[in-house]
Amino acid sequence: MSAVSNPGIRPYVVFDPRVKADLTYIDKEVRPAFPDGLYTEFAFSGHPSARAMAEAGHLKSFVAGALQGNASPARLVSRAVKRRSATILNEMSKWNLTRKRLDRALRLSEAALQIGGEQSDFLYHKGALMIASGNLDGAVKLTETMIGTRGGSASLFHRMASLLVRLGRLEEAVAAADAGLELSPQSIGLLRTRRNALEKMERFEQAYADGLFILNSGFGSPSDHLHVSGHLISMRNYAGALDHLDAAIDENASLLALRRRRDCLDALSRHYDAVEAAGRVVLLARRNIADILHLVHLNKRVRNIPGAIAALDDGIALLPKSLELHRVKRDYLMAANRLTEAVDAAIAVVKIAAHSSNDVAVLRWLRVRQMHQQVTLAGRDNLIRWQDYAIRIPRFFMSSEPIAILDTLVSTF
């Protein structure tokens, strides 16, 4: 709008402030271009607003006033006649749907269809209501009818493809997406829907081609990078997947992206980087046992047993009744030959799984090992003590005054 900006012109602008796209356009483009324009809000008039104005009886008087240079009102209100306007009823139904007032939205939609007839935008909204109420089969039939009687459009084929994906009718979904792309080859929404269907069919190379097209179009998002990473992982191209994951991950990255990055680093044998990535996952999913154990095993892989046990301790602090975490801690302590701590961990396991004969047997075996270790250590201490005496006695008798000291020793018996 800045290219046609003319401060001397005062256009009359009527818009629905509840249509977010129009409100954004008015605030960011139209008002800066025409700061002295005459702006009128007409709630529930939709886009464009002229049809609702005509149905409510406002259009003639508004245009006549504009031609005479009269100032327009700040707002148009149609409370008394809104029941005569199918457009207003349909827009009110949309507004109620966004607030999850489904019953009221359905009643308003039916009223709009009765007054205004089966207009395409009314039927399209009825389909949205059917989807929201879980009637996906009904929405498919309605969309098929609209395509058959009114001709297909990219938006109708997009809805059809999306519904068929949700219903698991994947081949039909791909066919619907193909039909929509013939009408609108650059439609990112249709490409994403077809890509999703191909993913579910495990046709990863075709899905990857759609994913790359989306990214190269300039409309790609972190989510699109994440999808492409999934295709590459399925094709075992972990290095390529890692590049896309790095493009997808930011401070607000999803757990799925972080987990995939961890797994790619692990597959590429970048174990230390994988440990760091696993730590970031655990920070976001602190109560997820699988993620905690993954971090533990990666620490073990880099021979950081203290780090593995510390990760287990952190997990147990949050999930004190997790039998799996207690068992893994017990086993790691056994492997590290830290028997006293292993016995304590085994006792904790038995307290949680009191009826597990296996866990009781492990505890007994650990106690036997602990006693054997204690006896062995005691024996070694005694042996070291006697060895020390054995060294000192010869040195004693080799001292400079052995006879005098020997007399002293004998006199004590």
Confidence of residue 398 (pLDDT cuts 50, 70, 90): very low
Confidence of residue 145 (pLDDT cuts 50, 70, 90): very high
40 φ/ψ angles, rounded to the nearest 5 degrees: -125, 125
Residue 204 has pLDDT above 50, yes or no: yes
What is this structure's pTM? 0.73
Gap between the Cα atoms of 106 and 85, Å rounded: 16
State the CB neighbour count (10 A cutoff) for residue 292: 26
State the CB neighbour count (10 A cutoff) for residue 194: 25
User: Distance between terminal CA atoms of the chain?
Assistant: 117
Tell me what the mean pLDDT of segment 82-108 comes to: 90
Q: Which of 87-96, 143-152, 282-291 has the lowest mean pLDDT?
A: 143-152
pLDDT in tens, 58-73: 899 999 999 998 888 9
Residue 397 has pLDDT above 50, yes or no: no
* SS3 category, 38: strand
Domain boundaries defined on the chain: 1-84, 238-320, 377-411
In the DSSP assignment, the letter for residue 28 is: I
Gap between the Cα atoms of 39 and 307, Å rounded: 65
Residue 394 has pLDDT above 60, yes or no: no
Residue 77 has pLDDT above 60, yes or no: yes
Share above pLDDT 90 across residues of the chain, in percent, rounded to a whole number = 66
Look over the chain and give the mean of its residue pLDDT values, rounded to a whole number.
88
pLDDT in tens, 174-198: 999 999 999 999 999 999 999 999 9
What is the pLDDT at residue 118?
A: 84
What is the pLDDT at residue 339?
A: 87
What is the pLDDT at residue 5?
A: 83
Q: Give alpha helix (H) positions in 249-401.
A: 255-267, 271-284, 289-301, 305-318, 323-335, 339-352, 357-397
What is the pLDDT at residue 410?
A: 45
Full DSSP string of 27-65: IIIIHHH-TT-EEEE-TT--SSSHHHHHHHT-HHHHHHH
What is the pLDDT at residue 80?
A: 60
Pairing of strands 38-41, 12-15: parallel
pLDDT in tens, 9-29: 889 999 999 999 999 999 999
Nearest to 74 by CA among 108, 104, 39: 39
Reported CATH class of domain 238-320? mainly alpha
State the CB neighbour count (10 A cutoff) for residue 70: 13
Confidence of residue 387 (pLDDT cuts 50, 70, 90): low
Q: Which of 33-42, 231-240, 395-404 has the lowest mean pLDDT?
A: 395-404
For residue 250 the two structure tokens come to 């930011």
